[in-house]
A = this chain, B = another copy of it.
Amino acid sequence: MESRQLRAAGRLIGVGVGPGDSHLITVKGVQALKRSPVVAFPAGRQQPGTAEQIIAPWGRRGQTRLPLEFPFVQEIGLLEAAWEKAATQVWTYLGQGLDVAFACEGDIGFYSTFTYLAQTLQRHHPQITIEAVPGICSPLAATAVLGLPLTVRSQKLAVLPALYTVDELEQALSWAEVVVLMKVSSVYPQVWSLLKRHHRLEHSYVVAYATRPEQRIYTDLSRHPQLELPYFSLLIVQKNPESHPDSLI
């Protein structure tokens, strides 16, 4: 009875819950969270995780809350084991016909854990329906709190995730007017030296925890050769507004 089975499985709904402020989730995201009998999210360490904190006001009584473990490591074997385990936990509910909303920080398709969970589930259960509700990604949140646009007019944008090399960064700076470095904390001193050589420090910015109470902003990085930064800090290199008509807000 394949057709009955198709109808019976619940949907996995990825909800990008935005950067931190609970009100920077979309209306559609709130609706998905409220409607779903099961709400999953990355488990926090000592305290509730960011996504869990963001969705705290949007819960509904009687929902099953499902924290899923995703380790902060690069080792693909450990990551895959975590995705497999999380997919199995989620399938427990989907297989019973229950929808599961997965809340993740930022957007669901921008360097998101949701992608790996969805891929793993789809590999084991190709029939399941996966829906995606986009969210505000961190570069947009960071520039909003800086009071700057991310990009204007004919500016090109380059985004580098973690693990970038000096070479990649130099190429990005030569190609794009605006460069965003995600997860900059571990390589900050090297990045700072490179930006200094290229005279780009003055219009570079570091933002961590954008729109959250612990938000941290650093402008004019020439004053900050060393910074102790949290893991999810990002660095934005803008071009010099004085030298071009594409000035900042």
Contact = CB atoms under 8 A, between A and B. Distances in A.
B150 A109 contact: yes
A140 B137 contact: yes
A153 B111 CA distance: 6
Given A156-B160, A249-B119, A109 B144 contact: yes
Contacts of A118: 249
B160 A158 contact: no
A28 B31 CA distance: 15
Contacts of A98: none
6 contacts: A109-B149, A134-B141, A151-B159, A154-B161, A155-B161, A157-B159
Given A115-B149, A136-B136, A162 B156 contact: no
A18 B24 contact: no
A53 interface: no
Q: Which 7 A-B pairs have the closest CB atoms?
A: A23-B28, A109-B149, A157-B159, A115-B149, A132-B144, A134-B144, A134-B140
Interface residues of A, number: 63
Contacts of A135: 136, 140
Interface of A: 16, 18, 21-28, 30-31, 76, 107-112, 114-116, 118-119, 122, 130, 132-137, 140-141, 143-144, 147-164, 168, 171-172, 175-176, 245, 247-249
- Chain copies in complex: 2
B162 A154 contact: yes
Contacts of A160: 156
Given A21-B28, A136-B26, A249-B119, A175 B158 contact: yes
Given A109-B151, A115-B249, A156 B168 contact: yes
A109 B161 contact: no
Contacts of A16: 140
B23 A27 contact: yes
